[in-house]
Amino acid sequence: MKKLKHETELFKQALLAGVKYAEGRGVVEFESTDSASEKLLYIYRLLVHDKVMQPLPEDQVAEKALRHKLALWYSKQLPKDHPLLK
């Protein structure tokens, strides 16, 4: 798995976009006490369920891999000239 140049920032933005996506669908309402790890796993499972992203093999589902996958998902939604993609 090749690390993206601005992966940390992409992940932060992806998590916000994922929360907005999940809450917009009306399937969940995240609390301020929910950890980023909990949100990450829920958003990943929702995106896989909605067939927005391909699932990882179950033995590879780990926080580091999910962070990368979510950052990659978000980066594909950005315009090609976005600063986080340079």
Q: What is the CATH number of the domain that holds 17?
A: 1.20.120.1930
**Alpha carbons 70 and 22: distance in angstroms, whole number:** 14
With respect to residue 2, please indicate whether it lies within any of the assigned structural domains.
Answer: no
For 65-86, the pLDDT digits (tens) are 999 999 999 999 999 999 988 8
Contact 65, 56 (CB under 8 A): yes
With respect to residue 82, please indicate whether it lies within any of the assigned structural domains.
Answer: no
Structural domains in the chain (count)? 1
Residue 3 has pLDDT above 90, yes or no: no
Predicted local confidence at residue 4, as pLDDT: 82
Range of the domain at 34: 7-77
For 25-55, the pLDDT digits (tens) are 999 999 999 999 999 999 999 999 999 999 9
Distance of CA 62 to the CA centre of its chain: 13
